[in-house]
Chain A
Amino acid sequence: MSGTFTKSMARNIFYGGAVFFFLLFVALTFDTTRALPKYDNRGAITPEVALGKRIWEENDCIGCHTLLGEGAYFAPELGNVYTRYGNSKEAIMAFIKSRPKEGIPGRRSMPQFNFSDEQLNALAEFLKYTSEIDTAGWPPNVQG
């Protein structure tokens, strides 16, 4: 890189490129925001779902699980657990409720959180809502 290509040209490409592509990104973000209601299942966000999301966060479920493919890779994907469990909230609640306190010998274990029935229901509602988000056909199959 020598001769006619000067430092100030390089600097201009940097500032110009950064500003242009950031603005393009903002424009795409506007368009996404506009289009989002078609995809994000927001109609299903009830107070229970919002509570379920909060419980999800305050127990750091994401520290073991992925949700829509993001999170930790230690335990099953939960974005589609509702479908994997035969569209049954009860099955999800029963699973979470039945975790042994001391874990399962030799097996990756999930904590016993001692949730109330209301909390369990909210978590299940949240996972049901998540499973109905339009994720462009991901995951490839029910195993997540």
Chain B
Amino acid sequence: MQYQSQAVAKPYFIAAIVLFVAQILFGLVMGLQYVWGDFLFPEIPFNVARMVHTNTLIVWLLFGFMGAAYYLVPEEAETELHAPWLARLMFWVFLVAAGLTVAGYLLVPYATLAELTMNDLLPTMGREFLEQPTIIKIGIVIVALAFLFNIGMTVLKGRKTVVSLVLLLGLLGLAVFFLFAFYVPDNLVLDKYYWWWVVHLWVEGVWELILGAILAFVLIKITGVDREVIEKWLYVIIAMTLITGIIGTGHHYYWIGTPHYWQWWGSIFSAMEPIPFFMMTVYAFNMVNRRRRNHPNKPATLWALGTAVMAFLGAGVWGFLHTLAPINYYTHGTQITAAHGHMAFYGAYVMIVLTIISYAMPILRGRTAANSNKSQVLEMWSFWLMTVSMVFITLFLTGAGILQAYLQRVSDAPQSFMVVQDQIALFYWLRELAGVVFLIGLVVYIASFFVGSSDPEATVEAQV
């Protein structure tokens, strides 16, 4: 660790992993409810499990992004963090807010939670992904502001690199677009229109800047390739992201009561959204092939390359699959969407957070660069277990989605939703099975932190 204050990143990464476990457990509960309808009913209805699954996902990714920023900004700026105490304080504020929210979902009916938190004063609850009580949303804004202030001041007083600038821009965008979570008009069409300013402009806009910056940082560190080269790529990639992705929001405006011209704008621009993801893959492999040194942390390289490939598959390929309006007409809101959502979130954002954790955690725990060989081997096993099972989850959901779209929407004798769901149950069973393997991968991942801690650090020579 070059700067003492980078250490504040550690609790953020640990919290991220703990919430990751909760996310997956509730994912498995839902997967079971898909085929065993009244499993845990009425104690944990499906919607409650879903809120826990998706909100823990988002919150642990945010923990990961913040940890990443606290780790990499001091190193990029070549100075200590502006206010380490503030980072530590905000960690606890954020963790308590997340804990209270999950407890609220699980312990009382959602309507009671709305009442208890006085949703009527400023109603923001009950929209997908943004289910948190209003007071929690306000808490998130406060944490985000304190965080941006801290990171911003650090960058201001130190060296200003492209990596930290792009990261900061992405994080700023994240906070700004979150503000649309407070706009909930009675007009359903307007409501949906601006809901996507949070959701789409996050994952297909500003979050990609964060992704690009973290990936660039790790690539610089593990390959030793000239910063100039990597930064040029970074600019081009994020330029393509915003050029295609902003108007690409239109792929959500086909069928929600907006003017029909969005079918053209949305289809054309979002069809180009895979370009930056493709470039990212080419660039990551390019940089690793042109590396000037062999870094002893092999899993970090694996996660970095894996991110590039899986983000391209999940967001680029599976996104393209259903983004053109005439196709989306049949796939909109089916398991195809779920298939894409899973692989894209995993490939782009889960994997980039695991990349930076893989790179930084050994150093935060007192190693000079890497874990022991034993721990690395285990971590790489977990990489393959989780990644391959996610590929299968995606394939099974895609199978389910194709059948669903056909039986319910395309065939001459369309059948009702519930009847169709019964017929494709086999795919849901297989998805659940793949999910169990994913959980095993996650357990192996956690084990890799505890195995071989007393063994000597892996070196480059020992591995070749």
Q: Check A140 against B186 for contact (C-beta < 8 Å).
A: no
Chain A CB within 10 Å, residue with most, of B37, B131, B249, B253? B37
Contact among B41, B233, B255 with A68 in the assembled complex (CB-CB below 8 Å)? B255
Contact among A24, A50, A74 with B186 in the assembled complex (CB-CB below 8 Å)? A50
Kindly state the separation between the CA atoms of A135 and B248 in the bound complex, as whole angstroms.
Answer: 19
Contact with A along B370-395 (1 / 0, CB 8 A): 00000000000000000000000000
Contact among B110, B254, B256 with A60 in the assembled complex (CB-CB below 8 Å)? B110
Q: Check B37 against A106 for contact (C-beta < 8 Å).
A: yes
Closest to B240 in A: A17
Q: Quick one: given A14-B242, A57-B125, are A136 and B42 in contact (CB under 8 Å)?
A: no
Kindly state the separation between the CA atoms of A6 and B235 in the bound complex, as whole angstroms.
Answer: 11
Q: Check A75 against B417 for contact (C-beta < 8 Å).
A: yes
- The stretch that binds A, out of B189-197, B292-300, B436-444, is B189-197
Kindly state the separation between the CA atoms of A74 and B125 in the bound complex, as whole angstroms.
Answer: 20
Least CB distance from A70 to B in Å reads 6
Kindly state the separation between the CA atoms of A58 and B187 in the bound complex, as whole angstroms.
Answer: 16
**Could you tell me which residues of chain B, from 234 to 277, have a CB within 8 Å of some CB in chain A?**
235-236, 238-239, 242-243, 246-247, 249-250, 252-260, 262-263, 265
Contact among A18, A38, A134 with B239 in the assembled complex (CB-CB below 8 Å)? A18
Q: Quick one: given A76-B417, A143-B408, are A69 and B111 in contact (CB under 8 Å)?
A: no
A94 an interface residue at 8 Å Cβ cutoff? no
Q: Check A103 against B125 for contact (C-beta < 8 Å).
A: no
Q: Check A7 against B231 for contact (C-beta < 8 Å).
A: yes
Contact with B along A33-48 (1 / 0, CB 8 A): 0011011111001000
Q: Quick one: given A39-B259, A106-B38, are A60 and B47 in contact (CB under 8 Å)?
A: yes
Least CB distance from A111 to B in Å reads 5
Q: Check B409 against A58 for contact (C-beta < 8 Å).
A: no
Kindly state the separation between the CA atoms of A123 and B171 in the bound complex, as whole angstroms.
Answer: 38
Least CB distance from B182 to A in Å reads 14
Q: Check B187 against A45 for contact (C-beta < 8 Å).
A: yes
Q: Check A62 against B42 for contact (C-beta < 8 Å).
A: no
Closest to A113 in B: B111
Q: Check A13 against B257 for contact (C-beta < 8 Å).
A: no
Q: Check A143 against B414 for contact (C-beta < 8 Å).
A: yes
User: How many chain A residues touch the partner (CB < 8 A)?
Assistant: 77
| A54 cross-chain contacts in B, Cβ below 8 A | 123
Q: Check B126 against A31 for contact (C-beta < 8 Å).
A: no
Closest to A50 in B: B186
Q: Quick one: given A40-B189, A59-B126, are A21 and B334 in contact (CB under 8 Å)?
A: no
Q: Quick one: given A101-B42, A108-B421, A138-B329, are A72 and B255 in contact (CB under 8 Å)?
A: no
Closest to A45 in B: B186
Q: Check B257 against A134 for contact (C-beta < 8 Å).
A: yes
B119 an interface residue at 8 Å Cβ cutoff? yes
A64 an interface residue at 8 Å Cβ cutoff? yes
Least CB distance from A37 to B in Å reads 10
Closest to A7 in B: B232
Least CB distance from B354 to A in Å reads 26
Q: Check A7 against B228 for contact (C-beta < 8 Å).
A: yes
Q: Check B257 against A41 for contact (C-beta < 8 Å).
A: yes
Q: Check B41 against A144 for contact (C-beta < 8 Å).
A: no
Least CB distance from A80 to B in Å reads 11
| B255 cross-chain contacts in A, Cβ below 8 A | 68-69, 135-136, 138-139
Q: Check B333 against A71 for contact (C-beta < 8 Å).
A: yes
| B335 cross-chain contacts in A, Cβ below 8 A | 73
B418 an interface residue at 8 Å Cβ cutoff? yes
B127 an interface residue at 8 Å Cβ cutoff? yes
Kindly state the separation between the CA atoms of A76 and B414 in the bound complex, as whole angstroms.
Answer: 14
B416 an interface residue at 8 Å Cβ cutoff? yes
**Could you tell me which residues of chain B, from 20 to 46, have a CB within 8 Å of some CB in chain A?**
30, 33-34, 36-38, 41-42, 45-46
Least CB distance from B212 to A in Å reads 11
Q: Check B409 against A141 for contact (C-beta < 8 Å).
A: yes
Kindly state the separation between the CA atoms of A106 and B335 in the bound complex, as whole angstroms.
Answer: 21
Closest to B119 in A: A58
Closest to A21 in B: B246
Q: Check B417 against A77 for contact (C-beta < 8 Å).
A: yes
Known contacts A64-B45, A68-B257, A139-B255; 7 additional CB pairs below 8 A are A28-B247, A36-B190, A58-B110, A62-B47, A74-B34, A75-B46, A140-B410
Q: Which 5 A-B pairs have the closest CB atoms?
A: A63-B47, A57-B126, A69-B333, A138-B255, A10-B235
**24 A-B pairs whose Cβ atoms sit less than 8 Å apart in the complex:** A1-B229, A6-B232, A7-B228, A14-B235, A18-B242, A28-B265, A36-B190, A39-B257, A39-B258, A40-B257, A42-B187, A60-B47, A60-B51, A62-B47, A62-B126, A62-B127, A63-B110, A73-B334, A74-B34, A104-B38, A105-B38, A108-B34, A138-B254, A141-B409
**Chain B interface residues toward A at CB < 8 A:** 30, 33-34, 36-38, 41-42, 45-48, 50-51, 110-111, 114-115, 119, 123, 125-128, 131, 162, 184, 186-190, 192-193, 228-229, 231-233, 235-236, 238-239, 242-243, 246-247, 249-250, 252-260, 262-263, 265, 329-330, 332-335, 337-338, 408-410, 414-418, 421
**Chain A interface residues toward B at CB < 8 A:** 1, 5-7, 10-11, 13-14, 17-18, 21-22, 24-25, 28-29, 31-32, 35-36, 38-42, 45, 49-50, 53-54, 56-64, 66-77, 101-109, 111-113, 129-130, 133-144
